[in-house]
Homo-oligomer: A and B are copies of this chain.
Amino acid sequence: MGLYHLDDERQAAVHKIRKRVIENIGRNMDLYGIPVSTGHLYGLLYFADKPMNLDEMGQEMKMSKTSMSTGVRTLLDYKMVNKVWEKGSRKDLYEVEYDWYQSFVDFFDIKWRKSVESNIHVLRKALDETEKLRKAHEDDEELTAVLQEDQAKMREAVAYYKWLERLIDTLVDGEIFNYVPKEPPEGKI
């Protein structure tokens, strides 16, 4: 973590402060459906002042290299960390994506959009089948009533998901920042 040139006491003090932040980040990362330990890994990388390799991570996290491998892969899938190329080193190096706004957007673009698309697809298909069934039994008033109810609900659902898609679009194209602007960090310049 690049602070081993400090004397032990001061190093420990820095570590202690970082640790609480890292653990909090890790804990809250379950919002993204990410295991706590992978969240910790993220936190570790967040404070690292240079890209890390799997062995270094394992050492710091006191976990197996295999776990680091899978953890990093998860974070890569979410684009929360990036692979870094460094001449000389044969090891793969990773660093966090420091643009958290981008990470937030990517999360929705990756996970939520997939879910939304799948839901719309299934609903469209169900609407189709419902319509067929309805037409095949137009004389059956009870059935018609049930099917129309279902159709109304499913059309509402599709409308909602399409809204969600548009919302994700405004995130991805950055338009959201016109509505809800970023502000510069507070504190000394």
Contact = CB atoms under 8 A, between A and B. Distances in A.
Interface in A106-131: 111-112, 115, 118-119, 122-123, 125-127, 129-130
A150 interface: yes
A27 to B, nearest CB: 8
A121 B65 CA distance: 33
A153 B46 contact: yes
Interface in A1-35: 2-3, 5-6, 10, 13-14, 17-18, 20-21, 24-25, 28, 30-31, 33
Contacts of A166: 180
Given A6-B142, A162-B183, A47 B153 contact: yes
A154 interface: yes
Given A13-B133, A142-B6, A149-B49, A180 B159 contact: no
B28 A119 contact: yes
Chain A residues touching B, majority SS: helix
A184 B160 CA distance: 9
Interface stretch (A52-60, A71-79, A82-90, A97-105): A97-105
Given A25-B119, A33-B33, A159-B182, 18 more contacts: A3-B146, A6-B142, A6-B143, A13-B133, A14-B146, A18-B150, A20-B125, A21-B122, A31-B33, A47-B150, A47-B153, A100-B157, A101-B160, A104-B164, A155-B187, A156-B185, A159-B185, A167-B180
Q: Which 3 A-B pairs have the closest CB atoms?
A: A155-B185, A159-B185, A28-B115
